[in-house]
């Protein structure tokens, strides 16, 4: 082991003496202080690879010392010591850049393992720092915007990317929860390892369990061979569980056990397997409300909710609308003033995803490089008019008719190309032309 240097700050002198003795025997260089005020000059004077801070210190507490330390030595790996009553404070420390926390009273072997893990993490970070900058520049994952709330979330995402703690991403459908999950993975030291995603609401319970944990041959009807689950496929990397609020309660129990131990069993198997993955979850529901309703396990919620990222809906960051429009529009296409005003007055229940689809439709239906409000087929609500009417709304059938007519006109009635654009067969397109009595002008 190389001479890694550690700073210990704790006001329990007997515990500090024991730690210093134990860690020096392990080959570490160790300095210590009994309070934060004495520790700060040491941090200015010496370079430390690791630090161990008690959260409860006299005068300046451990969180304040952590913040001060990160200003001086940003790459230091800090492990926080916390009593049972200060877990929430420890989680706040993770948000502020601590590597991990350990609950008092702790086993010395547990602390040594945490230190080894922190050293490994620091070494990987140093080796990959330049690569991380390149990847971050190349892969912004389409998280577009300068809104202050969004930028704060991106800063938090970067701070916690290398940590192993679970992250819960909340936000309405279409806000980009999957993009933040990818950023957490690809901005981290796990970027070379697998990123595995699954939609928890897209599969029935047994199939979802099989997808997650795998099964052995004969475990159920149709299980004709052994199958590896996604938790195994994600080993060493990141497992992203989207729409977690849809997961059945019975499967939540098994997920909690896996999160706590890393252990699981394939369906129909007695053997215990173990993997190491970073778990990120996402939901468009408010899980605290689902817990109150009995739809979601409280213990699982608290296990997942170590760090929460709540993505604001598009209507709460409309200052980003021009940037998003510019990003989604293809070269040469622009919005006219009325079209932009229509978008600015719209509520976007489908958020950024809906904006993208609206602009795709506008680009398709516009006859030139200028996209007009009518090309968006958007009946924007006038937010200042409380006497809203529905006289200008049309049926889905009429909307489809107008859409097909515009696509055919744009493509000079080339039915093969129009069918490709519309995503239907040529035969189906001919049927629609006949149904709507469409004719080339």
What is the torsion angle, in degrees rounded to the nearest 10, for the CA atoms of residue 250, residue 252, residue 258 and residue 263?
10
Chain segment 163-205, per-residue pLDDT in tens: 888 999 999 989 999 999 999 998 888 988 999 999 988 788 8
Contact, 147 vs 287, CB < 8 A?
A: no
> In this predicted structure, what is the pLDDT of residue 133?
52
Separation CA 75–CA 123 (nearest Å): 10
State the greatest distance between any 2 C-alpha atoms of the chain, in Å, as a whole number: 92
Contact, 19 vs 43, CB < 8 A?
A: no
**Alpha-carbon separation of residue 259 from 3, 135, 204, 229, 262 (angstroms):** 34, 29, 21, 15, 6
Pick the closest to residue 376 from 391, 364, 392, 393 (CA basis): 364
Cβ of 116: how many Cβ atoms within 10 Å?
A: 14
**Alpha-carbon separation of residue 431 from 215, 417, 420 (angstroms):** 46, 16, 15
Q: Is 81 helix (H, G, I), strand (E, B) or coil?
A: strand
* Res 282 pLDDT > 80: yes
Contact, 399 vs 388, CB < 8 A?
A: no
Give percent above pLDDT 90 in the chain. Answer: 47
Q: Please tell me if the domain spanning 5-127 has the same topology as the one spanning 145-310.
A: yes
Chain segment 76-99, per-residue pLDDT in tens: 899 998 876 566 777 788 888 888
User: Helix-strand-coil percent breakdown of the chain, rounded to 5?
Assistant: 50, 15, 35
pTM of this structure: 0.62
Contact, 250 vs 242, CB < 8 A?
A: no
Domain boundaries, the chain: 5-127, 145-310, 316-380+389-436
Chain segment 203-217, per-residue pLDDT in tens: 888 889 999 999 999
* Res 321 pLDDT > 90: yes
CATH architecture of 5-127: 3-Layer(aba) Sandwich (3.40)
* Res 386 pLDDT > 50: no
Contact, 30 vs 24, CB < 8 A?
A: yes
Does residue 63 have a cis bond before it (omega within 30 degrees)?
no
Pairing of strands 29-33, 5-9: parallel
Instruction: Please tell me the CATH code under which domain 145-310 is placed.
Output: 3.40.50.300
Give percent above pLDDT 70 in the chain. Answer: 90
Angle among Cα 108, 111, 112 to the nearest 5 degrees reads: 90
Separation CA 55–CA 63 (nearest Å): 6
Separation CA 279–CA 165 (nearest Å): 8
Region 323-343: mean pLDDT is: 90
Separation CA 394–CA 255 (nearest Å): 46
Q: Which residues contact 80 (CB under 8 A, 6 or more apart)?
A: 53, 54, 55, 62, 66, 90, 93, 98, 100, 101, 102
> In this predicted structure, what is the pLDDT of residue 379?
54
Class of domain 316-380+389-436: mainly alpha
Mean pLDDT estimate for the chain: 86
Please state the φ and ψ torsions of residue 154, each to the nearest 5 degrees: -65, -35
Pick the closest to residue 16 from 28, 7, 26, 8 (CA basis): 8
Q: Is 46 helix (H, G, I), strand (E, B) or coil?
A: coil
Q: Which residues contact 155 (CB under 8 A, 6 or more apart)?
A: none
| DSSP, residue by residue, 329-371 | SPTT-EE-HHHHHHHHT---TTHHHHHHHHHHHHHHH-SSSEE
Angle among Cα 424, 421, 396 to the nearest 5 degrees reads: 65
């Amino acid at each position: 082991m190389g001479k890694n240097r550690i700073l210990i700050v704790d006001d329990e002198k007997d515990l500090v003496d024991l730690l210093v003795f134990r860690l020096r025997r392990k080959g570490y260089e160790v300095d210590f202080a009994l309070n934060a005020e004495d520790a700060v000059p040491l941090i200015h004077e010496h370079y430390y690879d690791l630090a161990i801070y008690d959260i409860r210190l006299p005068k300046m507490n451990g969180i304040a010392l952590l913040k001060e330390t990160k200003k001086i030595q940003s790459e230091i790996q800090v492990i926080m010591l916390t009593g049972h009553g200060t877990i929430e404070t420890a989680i706040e420390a993770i948000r502020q850049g601590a590597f991990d926390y350990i609950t008092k009273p702790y086993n010395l072997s547990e602390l040594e393992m945490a230190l080894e893990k922190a050293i490994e993490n620091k070494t990987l970070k140093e080796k990959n720092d330049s690569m991380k900058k390149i990847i971050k520049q190349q892969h912004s994952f389409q998280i577009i915007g300068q809104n202050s709330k969004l930028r704060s979330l991106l800063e938090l995402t970067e701070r916690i990317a290398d940590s192993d703690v679970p992250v819960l991403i909340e936000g309405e459908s279409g806000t980009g929860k999957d993009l933040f999950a990818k950023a957490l993975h690809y901005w981290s030291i796990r970027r070379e390892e697998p990123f595995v995603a699954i939609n928890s609401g897209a599969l029935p319970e047994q199939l979802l369990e099989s997808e997650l944990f795998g099964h052995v041959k004969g475990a159920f009807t149709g299980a004709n061979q052994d199958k590896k689950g996604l938790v195994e496929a994600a080993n060493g990397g990141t497992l992203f569980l989207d729409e977690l609020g849809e997961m059945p309660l019975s499967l939540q129990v098994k997920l909690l056990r896996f999160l706590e131990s890393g252990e699981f069993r394939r369906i129909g198997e007695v053997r215990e397997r173990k993997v190491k993955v970073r778990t990120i979850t996402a939901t468009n529901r408010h899980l605290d409300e689902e817990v109150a309703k009995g739809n979601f396990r409280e213990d699982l919620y608290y296990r997942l909710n170590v760090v929460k990222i709540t993505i604001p809906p598009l209507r709460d960051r409309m200052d980003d609308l021009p940037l998003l429009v510019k990003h989604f529009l293809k070269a040469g296409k622009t919005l006219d003033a009325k079209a932009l005003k229509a978008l600015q007055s719209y509520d976007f229940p489908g958020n950024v995803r809906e904006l993208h689809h609206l602009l795709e439709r506008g680009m398709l239906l516009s006859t030139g490089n200028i996209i007009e409000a009518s090309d968006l087929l958007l009946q924007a609500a006038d937010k200042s008019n409380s006497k809203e009417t529905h006289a200008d709304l049309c049926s889905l059938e009429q909307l489809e008719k107008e859409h097909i007519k515009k696509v055919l006109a744009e493509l000079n009635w080339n039915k093969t190309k129009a069918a490709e654009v519309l995503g239907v067969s040529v035969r189906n397109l001919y049927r629609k032309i006949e149904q709507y009595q469409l004719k080339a002008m």
